[in-house]
């Protein structure tokens, strides 16, 4: 499964790519730190926390969340477990089902 990149996100990604080309960056990842390393979740969380504090926004009002499970669970409502498995990069359907929070099949919808 592929996620379509459009609108402002597409523009931002193009801007980052152009900046990387102009800097002759050899890093393969879209986002990298000053050492050209892929940022970890903790690195991203720290940057987010610093930005939130600089903006003087209370933590209770704006929190950093990793949305992989949410996106996968929402996709599972409209896609097959195999599609969600590919989206997450999981090796087995069983691991995918465990990650998205259910053991068997998708949510049932009432007949109309």
pTM of the entire predicted model: 0.44
Contacts of 37 (CB under 8 A, 6+ apart): 27
How high is the pLDDT of residue 109?
54
29 or 52: which leads in pLDDT: 52
Q: Quick: pLDDT tens for 65-86.
A: 767 777 777 775 677 778 888 8
Short-list 109, 88, 17, CA closest to 101: 88
């Amino acid at each position: 499964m592929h996620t379509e990149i459009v609108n402002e996100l597409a523009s931002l990604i193009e801007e980052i790519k152009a900046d990387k080309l102009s800097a002759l960056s050899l890093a393969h990842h879209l986002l990298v730190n000053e050492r050209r390393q892929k940022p970890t979740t903790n690195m991203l969380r720290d940057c987010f926390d610093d930005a939130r504090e600089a903006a003087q926004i209370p933590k209770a009002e704006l929190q950093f969340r990793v949305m992989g499970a949410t996106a996968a669970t929402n996709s599972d409502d409209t896609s097959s477990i195999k599609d969600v498995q590919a989206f997450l990069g999981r090796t087995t359907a069983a691991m995918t089902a465990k990650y998205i929070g259910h053991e068997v099949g998708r949510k049932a919808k009432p007949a109309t």
